[in-house]
Amino acid sequence: MVIEGLPSGTRVYAASVRRHSGATLALVRRDDGEKLLYVSGESPFLPDGQPLGNGYCHPLTAETASALKHLFPWLSPQRIPADRPSFGFGDRLGTATAGHIRSLAGTNIFPILAQQSVRENARTERRFADVLTCAIFGAFQEGYESGFGADADHLKRVEDALVAAHLGYSFFTCDPSEHVVDTDGLSDQEIRGRFSQLPRADVWRREYLEQPPSIAGLEGLRFTEDALARAAVKYGEAVVFASRMYNALAEHLSDGFDFEVSVDETEEPTTPLEHLFVSQELKQRGVDFVSLAPRFAGAMEKGVDWRGDLERFRSDLRVHASIARVTGPYRLSLHSGSDKFTLYPLMAEEVGRLWHVKTAGTSYLVALETVAEKAPVLFRKIVKFSISRFAHERASYHISADPGLIPPIEEIPDDKLGSVVEEHNGRQVLHVAFGSVLQSPLGDELRVVLDEWEEEHYERLARHLGRHLQGLGVKNIG
């Protein structure tokens, strides 16, 4: 695409070119790699820019993104349509949105293009505003007009949820894990004692034991006193916290929002009765949640496929899906959903279309695959540095990697370096060290390589995330 009057060497992203009120707008890239919003003509929403050719250029800041949303409403985050499955594309580098969008070709998936947690923001030195800004300009670059959401992920503080709400986020994932009681080490007697001291213990006995809810389709799920006590002690305070966050958001977002409750950050799987208890108690408190993330059975580790008893997973998933369908309907959310290729067909078969899958670290690993091929010297540095940071970084992740099993990086030929990203131990070591890498000078070098090999990076992302969507039964890959 050629726009007359631009300096020689300035590249125009053809899919981004748009007309509005007599002005032409496009995303352009200069010789030095800097991306800018180019405008020829006048736009009342955009501040004064710097002269460029026959028009003006604007930096890709949050302020420019906000102005652009006024011109093109499809760049504003939207709620998830009720009839479409949804998929979260985490982007820790802020460079992956174009590749994520390309993976959507031939699907009816509703994408969450801005998705990052407070913890991830701290490790990447970004803010919710930065994450959303990158998603907006990525969608504009690709000319993507089909709608996307923005998820403030794993929120543990109401204040953080309100920050994201102010910025225009549409999806809020409440993580009440700090309010979940670890009951696995408690005896039945200890749990009964704790239960009897809860303020709503008598109400719960009446509602779940004396006059249990009659839910068509869930007749086989019946609470015993011990099962009720365990569920209430474990999740009672978590439900209270989730309702507090929901009510705070509801006060600020009169047009509605998507709210997910995540109870997956536990050592033991969420039982069907625990799921039912959480669901019923959220509804009792008026929490209109669109999805719930249970802790599923098996090894749900970061960046690698699932391991465990597949038939047990299927059996549990079937019951969880029934609860979500009958008491909602709401979506079942699969967290740590990156590269769980074994589970995707089961999600499609047992859950139908009411699922949400979250990915994040897999896109960072795709970036490292690109670096392994195009900049082997840098990749070796990243591997060595990631190994040195592993003992520190692994503390907040459920992983099983052993860095000692990674072959000496200097002995691996350049054309085989990608195998480090593919193999279980290397993959997880690289995955958890993303924060340390991105905050170091290596992070700047990595971005330079991705910038130089931009199209290669996008196509790798489209292929890899496309495999995820293919496994979920929503995309055909020839």
How many angstroms separate the CA atoms of 98 and 135, rounded?
Answer: 9
Residues 6+ apart with CB under 8 A from 405: 425
Spatial separation of the C-alpha atoms in residues 364 and 94, rounded to whole Å: 10
Smallest CA-to-CA distance from 238 within 264, 218, 215 is with 264
Q: Is 330 left (phi over 0), alpha (psi -120 to 50) or beta?
A: beta
In whole angstroms, what is the distance from residue 34 CA to residue 47 CA?
A: 19
Vertex 169: Cα angle to 330 and 118 (nearest 5): 95
Supply angle C-alpha 156, 117, 178, rounded to 5. 25
**C-alpha distances out from residue 163 to 158, 166, 169, 288, Å:** 9, 5, 9, 20
Q: Quote the CA–CA distance of 95 and 473 in Å, as a whole number.
A: 27
Catalytic residues, which ones? 153, 260
- Single-letter residue type at 142: E
DSSP result, 369-385: HHHHHH-HHHHHHHHHH
